[in-house]
């Protein structure tokens, strides 16, 4: 197994753990999904895999959440507003494509900018797709202001889980020669 295959395998295993972070009790929006998207964008050379794995991870954990943990009468394949949310996850990965390699600075920048873009996009989706808020500028601003308490957890999740993911991978590279192979 070459380093790229090994990295993809580790990425997929970490993604399963990220899905688990959504299924156990946690503060709202404090999950590893954004960090997985960032990790994949930096560490996986195949951009399709780096984009698809976090999206599939999110979708599979949504299926469990919507149908097992919080079941409704009908089976739910996609939750309301999923396109806005999944686009926000995709943007986490896409931001990494503007950097040549991962570094503490680039991971910090993508964690913060990914959280901001996700916040803006997903809450715009709530505003445009529902009747919770008046469809006006004041309604949009109210939507964003009501969502602000969740932003801190989103940002903290990106930062904490990015440190864990990149730190774990760094330790693996230092400890096991197979991770150092070209």
The whole-model pTM stands at 0.90
- Number of Cβ within a 10 Å radius of residue 71: 11
What ranges do the domains of the chain cover? 3-179
List pLDDT tens digits, range 112-158: 999 999 999 999 999 999 999 999 999 999 999 999 999 999 999 99
List pLDDT tens digits, range 63-109: 999 998 888 888 989 888 899 999 999 999 999 999 988 999 999 99
Residue of higher predicted confidence among 166 and 80: 166
């Amino acid at each position: 197994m070459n380093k790229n295959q090994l990295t993809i395998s580790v990425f997929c295993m970490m993604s399963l753990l990220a899905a688990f972070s959504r299924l156990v009790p946690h503060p709202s929006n404090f999950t590893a999904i954004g960090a997985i998207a960032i990790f994949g964008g930096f560490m996986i050379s195949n951009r399709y895999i780096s984009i698809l794995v976090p999206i599939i991870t999110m979708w599979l954990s949504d299926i469990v959440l919507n149908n097992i943990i919080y079941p409704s009468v009908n089976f739910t394949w996609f939750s309301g507003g999923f396109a806005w949310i999944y686009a926000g996850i995709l943007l986490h990965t896409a931001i990494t494509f503007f950097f040549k390699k991962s570094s503490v600075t680039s991971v910090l920048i993508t964690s913060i900018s990914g959280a901001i873009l996700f916040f803006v996009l997903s809450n715009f989706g709530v505003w445009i797709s529902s009747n919770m808020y008046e469809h006006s500028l004041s309604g949009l601003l109210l939507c964003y202001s009501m969502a602000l308490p969740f932003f801190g957890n989103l940002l903290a999740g990106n930062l904490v889980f990015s440190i864990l993911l990149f730190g774990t991978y760094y330790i693996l590279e230092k400890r096991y020669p197979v991770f150092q192979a070209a």
